[in-house]
Chain A
Amino acid sequence: MTSTREQSRTDIHADTPVETQAEVPPQVTPAAPRVRKRRRPVTAYWRVVGTIAWKDLRAEMRSRELINSMALFTAMVVMVFSLALELDAQARRSVVTGVLWVAIVFAGMLGLSRSLAAEKDRGSLDALLLAPIDRSALFFGKVIGNLLFVLVVAAVLLVLLTIMFDMALMKPLLLLVVLLGSVGFTTVGTLLASMSVHARARETLLPILLLPVVLPLLLSAIRASSAILEDLPTVEWRSNLELLVIADVIFLVGAYALFDFVVEE
């Protein structure tokens, strides 16, 4: 690889007059590391992010403590809703997005508090913080890990509701709304869960901290999904979708800026 690159460079310079001959070695040697140096931080950063997300996934695949309880919990939320609201066919249509999002949020909070609490109780959080990596890479790794869990729950829910509520929920746009809503939810959720693990009553504190912050996001997610399910024209849900994207960007930037202060010790 390097030899051919050098070869081509010297070939180009061979066309030009004599004095370039002397310049060739100093030009080639700094050029090669410069390219690598420009690339290295980006790839290394995302490799760390991927490693942390992958670590969470692998731990989960081996223990299955989180995903099973989250899936069972969502199934029970669906049951409770259909029992409590005594849903007939008409009522099911109007509440299905509400059920979807409430179940995603509740199951998601279960996963969030568990994911950070396990990290802290086993002492692995300290080890992660000691590692010579960017703190934000750690944060985005955890976010991606948690996001995957939430998306699995959402997928289970979509299948479950499609079957049990007899509705066609598998629309690409609805999936997009679910993805956008989950991104915002897990971003703030991971930030706040890493604070609530230090509190005395951490399991109760996380919902209290998280719900008021994500409710605005949830509101537009529910509105957008309802409108999409009803096959309403684009104007009905576009503003909500835009609001979701804006909220996601704000949450990502804000959490990125604030996470350092949460985990420093």
Chain B
Amino acid sequence: MTTYAEGRTRLLRNLTYAAAILFVLALLMDFFYVGPEAQQGEAQRIFYVHLGSFLGAFIGFTAAVVAGIRYLRSRDPKWDTLGLSSVEVGLGLSTITIVTGMFWAKPIWNVYWTWEPRLTSVTIMWLAYAAYMMLRAGIEDPERRRRFAAVYGIVAFSSVLFTVIIIRVRPDTIHPAIGPTQASPEGEFEITPRIRDTLFFNLFTFGVIAVTLIWYRIRLENLFLHIERRKMDLLSQEG
């Protein structure tokens, strides 16, 4: 094994164990440490996974912007690998955000889905990154694919910003928010110390999970590229 340093592999393995343990602890906190919320009751417990997975997705999409800028500056393919990996992980985690939101909405709003500003904007965000994957699939020249993906990864981030700020500026949203919004200037629900602990622990956990997943995806992509190169070498030898 010359492709990957042994130390890196060990570090990633430890990170994986840490992520798994943190996730179990976070779930235990969601179910046993924090009590049922005053207004929403038991359904509120899913909120920690909901916000945590969104943070993970946010990390992914932000990493894609950074990777895009770095790629356009340096033209080093490793930044494109980071961009692809973080968008994929971000897409997966934002799917979790949407699905957990739906399960929360059924008991609270009595429907799985409603056309509410933030639900609309998060769907737009998801579609933008699905379009990123389509763009990659549609362009054959590898150099051009990397370049266009970097550009679109930057452009698509506008939908993430839109999702983050819409809840603060639109007065007709019913999506709960921490802190002041146009809809309710003094904040939606009261944050007890236990809610705060659980929330921060979950956010940290999902941050670690996102980084770990992105790392795995980078290694997978490197293996793909490695196999691709080996194939090319083999073909050129035969020819």
- A interface with B by C-beta (< 8 Å): 188, 191-192, 195-196, 198-202, 205, 208-209, 211-213, 215-216, 219, 239, 243, 250, 254, 258, 261-262, 264-265
Q: Is the pair A212, B154 in contact by a Cβ cutoff of 8 Å?
A: no
Question: Which residues of B sit under 8 angstroms from A239, Cβ to Cβ?
Answer: 169
A239→B141 CA distance, assembly (Å): 43
In the bound assembly, the distance between CA atoms of A147 and B154 in angstroms comes to: 23
Render B163-186 as a binary contact track against A, CB cut-off 8 A, 1 for contact.
Answer: 000000100000000000000000
* Distance, CA A205 to CA B120, complexed state (A): 21
Decide if B154 touches A209 in the complex (CB within 8 Å): no
Whether B148 pairs with A198 at a CB distance below 8 angstroms is: yes
Q: How far, in whole Å, are A191 and B155 apart by their CA atoms in the complex?
A: 10
CA distance A61 to B121 in the complex (A): 40
Say whether A212 contacts B151, CB under 8 Å: no
B154 x A200 contact (CB < 8 A): no
Q: How far is the CA of A239 from the CA of B131 in the complex (A)?
A: 29
Least CB distance from B207 to A in Å reads 25
Inter-chain contact B139/A199, CB cutoff 8 Å: yes
Number of interface residues of B (CB under 8 A): 27
Check A216–B162 contact: CB distance below 8 A: yes
Q: Are B131 and A262 in contact (CB under 8 A)?
A: no
Contact A261 B72, beta carbon cutoff 8 Å = yes
Q: Bound complex: CA of A209 vs CA of B151, how far in Å? A: 12
Contact A215 B124 (CB under 8 A): yes
Contacts of A243 in B (CB 8 A): 169
- Chain A at the B interface: mostly helix, strand, loop or mixed? helix
Residues of B within 8 A of A201 (CB): 138
Chain A CB within 8 A of B158 CB? yes
Bound Cα distance A216, B139 (Å):
26
Q: In the docked arrangement, what's the CA distance between A216 and B165, Å?
A: 12
Question: Chain A residue with minimal CB distance to B151?
Answer: A258
Given contacts A200-B140, A205-B134, 20 further A-B contacts (CB under 8 A): A195-B148, A195-B152, A196-B135, A198-B144, A199-B138, A199-B139, A200-B138, A205-B138, A209-B131, A211-B127, A212-B127, A213-B158, A213-B159, A216-B124, A243-B169, A254-B154, A254-B155, A258-B154, A261-B72, A262-B148
With A195-B148, A262-B148 as contacts: A216 and B138 at CB distance below 8 Å: no
Provide 29 A-B residue pairs closer than 8 Å at the C-beta atoms, listed in order of the A residue.
A191-B151, A195-B148, A196-B138, A198-B139, A198-B141, A198-B144, A200-B139, A201-B138, A205-B135, A205-B138, A208-B134, A209-B131, A211-B127, A212-B127, A212-B131, A212-B156, A212-B159, A213-B158, A215-B159, A216-B158, A239-B169, A243-B169, A250-B158, A254-B154, A254-B158, A258-B151, A261-B151, A262-B148, A264-B147
Instruction: Determine if B84 is an interface residue (Cβ-Cβ < 8 Å).
Output: no
Contact A199 B128 (CB under 8 A): no
Contact across chains for A195 and B169 when beta carbons are under 8 A apart:
no
B-chain residues with CB within 8 Å of residue A213 when the two chains form the complex: 128, 155-156, 158-159
B87 part of interface (Cβ distance < 8 Å): no
Q: A215 CA to B151 CA in the complex, in Å?
A: 18
Give the residue name and chain of the B residue nearest to A242 (CB): B169
- 10 nearest interchain CB pairs? A212-B128, A199-B138, A212-B127, A216-B162, A208-B131, A195-B148, A215-B124, A258-B151, A209-B131, A212-B124
Q: Is B150 engaged at the interface, CB distance under 8 Å to the other chain?
A: yes
